[in-house]
């Protein structure tokens, strides 16, 4: 499920979510998934919201 919610990402980060954790299925970090969504052309909401999430996570020092 994709939400593209910067507000939700912010809540998780401020609550202490570990930004370097990789998922088991694709071995990807939160930033990696946001970058993937940003570049995906099949997301109806467009890439802009994911660009904001990518920028936010990078500013927080998230590893790719």
Q: How many CA atoms lie within 13 A of 50 on its CB side?
A: 20
Q: What is the pLDDT of residue 64?
A: 79
The C-alpha torsion from 6 through 9 and 43 to 39, rounded to 10°, is 90
Structural domain spans, the chain:
19-64
pLDDT at 2 over 80: no
Contacts of 13 (CB under 8 A, 6+ apart): 19, 56, 57, 60
Q: What is the pLDDT of residue 39?
A: 83
Q: What is the pLDDT of residue 13?
A: 96
The predicted-structure confidence for 7-47, as pLDDT tens digits, reads as follows: 999 999 999 999 999 999 999 999 999 999 888 756 555 67
d(C-alpha 6, C-alpha 24), whole Å: 23
């Amino acid at each position: 499920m994709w939400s593209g919610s910067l507000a939700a990402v912010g809540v998780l980060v401020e609550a202490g979510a570990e930004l370097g954790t990789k998922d088991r299925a694709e071995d990807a970090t939160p930033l990696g998934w946001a970058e993937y969504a940003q570049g995906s052309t099949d997301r109806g909401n467009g890439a802009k919201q994911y660009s904001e999430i990518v920028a936010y996570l990078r500013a927080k020092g998230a590893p790719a």
